[in-house]
A and B are shown apart, each in its own frame.
Chain A
Amino acid sequence: MTTDVDKHNLEKRRAHIKKRYKAERRFRSFGIAAVSFGLLCVVILFTDIIGKGMGAFRQTYVQMEMTFDANTLGITDANDQAQVKGANFGGLVKKNLRDAYPQYKTRKDKKALYGIVSSEIGLILRDDLLANPEKLGTTETIWLLADDDIDMHYKYALGTDKQVGRISELQKNIVDELHAAGKVEKRFNRLFFTNAASREPELAGIKGALMGSFLTLIVTLILSFPIGIATAIYLEEFAPKNKITDFIEVNINNLAAVPSIIFGLLGLAIFINFFGVPRSVPLVGGLVLALMTLPTIIISSRAAIKAVPPSIREAAYGMGASKMQTVTHHVLPLAMPGMLTGTIIGMAQALGETAPLLMIGMVAFIVDVPSSITDSATVLPVQIFLWADSPERAFIERTSAAIMVLLAFLIVMNSFAVWLRKKLERRW
Chain B
Amino acid sequence: MNMSEHTQQNEHKTEGTPLLDDPRMSTRGVDVFYGDKQAIFNVDLDIGKNQVLAMIGPSGCGKSTFLRCLNRMNDTIDICKVTGSISLDGEDIYDRKIDVVELRARVGMVFQKPNPFPKSIYENVAYGPRIHGLVDHKVDLDEIVEKSLVRCGLWKEVRDRLDQPATGLSGGQQQRLCIARAIAINPEVVLMDEPCSALDPIATATVEELISELSERFTISIVTHSMQQAARVSQRTAYFHLGKLIEVGDTDQIFTNPTHQLTEEYITGRIG
- Taking Cβ atoms with an 8 Å cutoff, the residues of A that contact B are 241, 309, 311-322, 325, 329-330, 334, 427-428
Contacts and interface: CB of A to CB of B under 8 A. Distances in A.
B185 A318 contact: no
A312 B174 CA distance: 13
11 contacts: A241-B78, A311-B113, A312-B118, A315-B116, A315-B178, A316-B117, A317-B104, A319-B104, A319-B108, A319-B185, A320-B102
Tell me which of B101, B102, B178 has the highest count of chain A C-beta atoms within 10 A of its own C-beta. Answer: B101
Interface string B73-84: 100101000000
Nearest to A310: B76
B185 A320 contact: yes
A334 B127 contact: no
Contacts, number: 63
Given A241-B78, A313-B76, A325-B131, A320 B105 contact: yes
Contacts of A325: 131
B117 A320 contact: no
Contacts of B178: 315
Contacts of B73: 314, 317-318
Tell me which of A312, A318, A321 has the highest count of chain B C-beta atoms within 10 A of its own C-beta. Answer: A318
B128 interface: yes
A100 B174 CA distance: 88
Interface residues of B, number: 29
A318 B101 contact: no
Contact of B118 (A319, A320, A322, A428): A428
Contacts of A321: 101, 127, 131
Interface of B: 71, 73, 76, 78, 101-105, 108-109, 111, 113, 115-119, 127-128, 131-132, 165, 167-168, 178, 181-182, 185
B111 A319 contact: no
Nearest to B79: A241
Contacts of A318: 71, 73, 104, 108-109, 111, 182
A317 B76 CA distance: 8
B76 A319 contact: no
A315 B115 contact: yes
Contacts of B131: 319-321, 325, 329
B69 to A, nearest CB: 13
Given A319-B185, A320-B101, A428-B167, A314 B115 contact: yes
Nearest to A317: B76
A317 B181 CA distance: 13
B101 A322 contact: yes
A325 B100 CA distance: 14
Given A312-B118, A428-B165, 13 more contacts: A312-B115, A314-B111, A317-B104, A318-B73, A319-B108, A319-B128, A319-B181, A319-B185, A320-B101, A320-B104, A320-B131, A329-B127, A330-B117
A311 B110 CA distance: 12
Contacts of B165: 428
Contacts of B119: 428
Contacts of B103: 320
Contact of B115 (A311, A322, A329): A311
A325 B131 CA distance: 8
Nearest to B118: A428
A316 B185 CA distance: 13
Contact of B111 (A311, A322, A334, A428): A311
A250 to B, nearest CB: 19
A344 B61 CA distance: 48
Contact of A319 (B78, B102, B168, B182): B182
Contacts of B104: 317-320
A241 B76 CA distance: 13
Tell me which of A311, A313, A320 has the highest count of chain B C-beta atoms within 10 A of its own C-beta. Answer: A320
A319 B108 CA distance: 7
A322 B105 CA distance: 11
A314 B114 CA distance: 11
Contacts of B127: 319, 321, 329
A297 to B, nearest CB: 24
B68 to A, nearest CB: 9
A324 to B, nearest CB: 10
Nearest to A315: B115
B115 A320 contact: no
Contacts of B108: 318-319
Nearest to B109: A318
A322 B111 CA distance: 18
Contacts of A315: 111, 115-117, 178, 181
A334 B118 contact: yes
A312 B168 CA distance: 15
Contacts of A317: 73, 76, 104
Nearest to B120: A428
A312 B117 contact: yes
A315 B114 CA distance: 9
Contacts of B113: 311
Tell me which of A334, A427, A428 has the highest count of chain B C-beta atoms within 10 A of its own C-beta. Answer: A428
B129 to A, nearest CB: 10
Contacts of A313: 76
A26 to B, nearest CB: 38
B93 to A, nearest CB: 13
Cβ-closest 10 pairs across A and B = A320-B105, A311-B115, A320-B104, A315-B115, A428-B165, A318-B109, A428-B118, A319-B128, A320-B101, A322-B101
A426 to B, nearest CB: 11
Contacts of A316: 117
Nearest to A313: B76
Tell me which of A241, A313, A315 has the highest count of chain B C-beta atoms within 10 A of its own C-beta. Answer: A315
Contacts of B168: 428
Given A320-B132, A321-B131, A322-B101, A314 B181 contact: no
B67 to A, nearest CB: 11
Contacts of B101: 320-322
A319 B178 CA distance: 10
Contacts of B167: 428
Contacts of A311: 111, 113, 115
